[in-house]
Amino acid sequence: MSIIIETWHWFLQADHWSGDLGIWQRFGQHLYYVLVSLLIAVLIAQPLGILFGYWKRGGFLVINLFNIGQAFPSLGIILLCIMLFGFTDVPVFIALVALAIPPMLTNTYVGISNADQTLCDAAKAMGMTPLQSLLQVRIPLAMPLIFAGIRTSLLQLIATAVVAAYAGLDGLGRFLIDGLGQRDFPQVVAGSLVISLLAIVCELLMSLVAKRWLHFSMSNAG
């Protein structure tokens, strides 16, 4: 019970919120790692997933190739990249992007390749070109799976971006690493709570976006 009270008092201290070592600064750094990595992963995974899902050739090989990235520990990738690129943001982005691509790539590939063939044939019969059919039929049908892949990657990134602190970089993980090093357990608990809250808020926002898209698609279909 005392740790809860101590954590509450930790949150109440103004200097823990402001400055270069405060919550808002660390929160912004953490969000920066997550969003930039997610954007890069989207730009890589979505075109590949759509391309191979439409062709239905080579997708299995490409997906398994990118899944290799999940087989390596993120911290190990970061430390290896630090040896190659030095103490910059590049190692963190490489590790996080490698982690984020597989869920998005797999879901997009499955969504595009398994789109309702009846509707695809109907689009062809209506005179749609392959590109029109892809953009107006296959991709909209695959959007629920695409959103699910992005949401999975986002949550993984929020949790895994903590490892940046192990490599001496910034983000919310600093509260965990520094707190453990100083045996400041309220700081550790506070950092964990902030990270968990960020993950919950992002999950709710992604769920809302997915529902809005589904509602929009059904309205247009009607």
CA distances for 36 relative to 102, 166, 178, angstroms? 16, 19, 25
Q: What does the block give as tokens for 187?
A: 């700081």
Q: What does the block give as tokens for 71?
A: 């087989």
Backbone angles phi, psi at 202, to 5 degrees: -65, -40
Are 169 and 87 spatial neighbours (Cβ–Cβ below 8 Å)? yes
Indicate the class that CATH gives domain 1-9+21-216: mainly alpha
Are 30 and 22 spatial neighbours (Cβ–Cβ below 8 Å)? no
The domain spans of the chain are: 1-9+21-216
DSSP 8-class letter at 56: T
Q: Which of 126, 125, 144, 124 is nearest to 134 (CA)?
A: 124
Residues 15-70 have pLDDT tens digits of: 889 888 889 999 999 999 999 999 999 999 999 999 888 887 766 677 777 777 66
Residues 184-208 have pLDDT tens digits of: 899 999 999 999 999 999 989 988 8
CA distances for 209 relative to 11, 150, 215, angstroms? 31, 11, 10
